Amino acid sequence: MRPLYEVADILQRNIGLIDELTANSWQSRTLYALAACRSCLLGGHIDRCTNADCNHVHISYNSCRNRHCPKCQGHKQEEWVRSRESELLNVPYYHVVFTLPAELNSICLYEPRVIYNLLFTIAWSVIKGFAENHKFLGAKTGMITILHTWGQNLSLHPHLHCIVPGGGISPSEKWKHTRGKGRYLFPVKAMGKVFRARFVEGLRKEMELDDGFYKKLFKKSWVVYCKRPFFGPPQVLEYIGRYTHKIAISNHRIKDIENDSITFIAKDYRHGGKKHPVTLSDHEFIRRFSLHILPKGFTRIRHYGILSSTLKKKIIPLLQEQLGEVNLPERPPLQHRTCPICKTGELVTLITFKAARGPPSIAYLQLLLHRTDIQKITS
């Protein structure tokens, strides 16, 4: 169901103020792209359904394809999940979350690339270190990790969602399961202490900050959260699909955009995930949304260890032979160009039109297609 309101609506009615409300030109360029997404500013194309019983003609404007756009992530997400199916192992998987304390938020604003890269590096070093420790596992494991920078109210809340298999490959190239009969991965309190110590050490090497600031970081407990294992590998894919291409806020969460303000629904996880409305002025909404625009070229989904691109081609087939196949539910093949009206026909592009120009007239289409009954046009 198409949402009533969009992030683009807020950006379009404040288009002249975007440069003033953002911290740098990259953020501004991103917001301009989101504002223009699927509008005549980006040009478009006209498609016709191949189903003779439908035969609808669709006018479509081009998408911005920006990774921060609420309208451009669905298909990318599905493609990414499908590509991971062949890499699943028939073992339990765990969801681990590494969260940075709020004291680091001000540094994230000015040095996001440094802090977020360090977060990836340290999180993997913690998982890798505990896995290779014979006290806990004594094997090489892997990790898929996704960076999120937001809380439900769009405040800055950097954290990593990590998917870790419940075990690893031994020096003899045999799979070794985690201890505790699959009930837990590694002790989270110990992981939190190591996470804090290694991150602060890494930060000292990267930046010169006041010693009092570092002492302040050590006074807090750093949160590492590990959920119970998933019911099975198929649930891993379903879960990952909800997180990989997620952005700061989806259009479906927006409930009202009247009176130069925006109201959206947020979950309060401190009170059991209860939903409540949050109302912000346009300017405050744009400011908060901009906090979550990642630096140019920054990779927010990363693979490590036996799940990295350099190792998985060799190790995954070997482990799948040892552990057996994963039974995945049958799913229809991806259809990139299915007619939204009849759901069966494919869309074939008739013509394209350039940016900032309206679509061709019906009369022109009739001439192009040698038809006189082409009135079923959907935009």
Per domain, the residue ranges of the chain are: 7-68+336-378, 87-248+297-323
**317 φ/ψ angles, rounded to the nearest 5 degrees:** -60, -35
Residue 373: per-residue pLDDT: 47
Residue 182: per-residue pLDDT: 67
Residue 223: per-residue pLDDT: 87
Mean pLDDT, 10 residues at a time, the chain of 379 residues: 91 95 95 92 86 85 92 80 86 93 95 98 98 95 95 95 94 90 83 96 94 91 84 77 85 94 90 88 97 96 95 93 86 73 87 69 55 48
**156 φ/ψ angles, rounded to the nearest 5 degrees:** -75, 125
* Residues ≥6 apart with Cβ < 8 Å to 163: 93, 94, 95, 96, 143, 144, 145, 236, 239, 240
3-state class (DSSP) for residue 303 = strand
Residue 372: per-residue pLDDT: 41
Q: What is the pLDDT of residues 179-232, one digit of tens each?
A: 876 677 899 999 999 999 999 999 999 999 999 999 999 988 898 998 877 777
* Rounded (5°) CA angle 246-107-129: 70
* Residues ≥6 apart with Cβ < 8 Å to 80: 244, 245, 301
Q: Measured between alpha carbons, how far is residue 170 from residues 139, 186, 322 in Å? A: 5, 17, 13
The neighbour count for residue 247, using CB atoms within 10 Å, is: 21
Q: Give the residue from 357, 378, 377 showing the smallest Cα distance to 43.
A: 357
CA dist 288 and 292 (Å) reads: 7
Residue 374: per-residue pLDDT: 45
The neighbour count for residue 167, using CB atoms within 10 Å, is: 23
